[in-house]
């Protein structure tokens, strides 16, 4: 009889130890994941700041050339070239931190192109998606989408 109670006690103790180990490892994994995510966000922000100085002239020139292309050239090639230049500026602006004047210039150029295209091409949906990403990264307009 006593051996039976000892066996039940050992089985219960083993199950309790396993449950505690399982719960502890789950908590440790959750903490590690949270720390990794926090480090990833911090590293991303540092990268954006570090690359902003080098990318600012590229964004500025892309905006300038896109506006020139929209105003001075006509046709499908003009629209395609302006779209590529605006997408370049938006992608660089999303990956780096830019000053407010450059953000405003990029938004103005993008909205001018958006108005000019006015649903003529299917690529405008790509422009819309990249514009939303740009606004989330620089203006925090759309929050957590």
Q: What does the pLDDT look like over 45-103, one tens digit per residue?
A: 666 666 677 788 888 988 999 998 888 888 888 888 888 889 889 888 888 888 889 88
Please state the domain count of the chain. 1
Is residue 133, in this structure, part of any structural domain at all? yes
Residue 109's pLDDT is: 92
Q: What does the pLDDT look like over 122-137, one tens digit per residue?
A: 777 888 888 888 888 8
- Domain range for 92 is 2-138
- Exposure of 73 in the CB half-sphere (CA atoms within 13 A): 16
Is residue 57, in this structure, part of any structural domain at all? yes
Is residue 144, in this structure, part of any structural domain at all? no
Is residue 9, in this structure, part of any structural domain at all? yes
Neighbours of 83 (CB within 10 A): 23
Distance CA 113, CA 110 (A): 5
Is residue 54, in this structure, part of any structural domain at all? yes
């Amino acid at each position: 009889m006593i051996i039976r109670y000892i066996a039940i006690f050992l089985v219960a103790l083993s199950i309790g130890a396993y449950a505690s180990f399982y719960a502890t490892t789950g908590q440790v994994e959750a903490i590690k994941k949270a720390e990794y995510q926090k480090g990833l966000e911090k590293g991303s922000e540092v990268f954006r700041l570090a690359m902003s100085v080098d990318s600012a002239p590229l964004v500025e020139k892309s905006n300038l050339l896109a506006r020139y292309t929209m105003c001075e050239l006509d046709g499908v090639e003009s629209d395609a070239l302006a779209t590529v230049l605006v997408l370049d500026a938006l992608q660089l602006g999303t990956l780096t931190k830019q000053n407010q004047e450059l953000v405003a210039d990029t938004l103005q150029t993008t909205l001018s192109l958006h108005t000019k295209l006015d649903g003529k091409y299917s690529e405008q949906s790509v422009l819309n998606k990249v514009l939303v990403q740009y606004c989330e990264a620089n203006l925090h307009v759309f929050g957590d989408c």
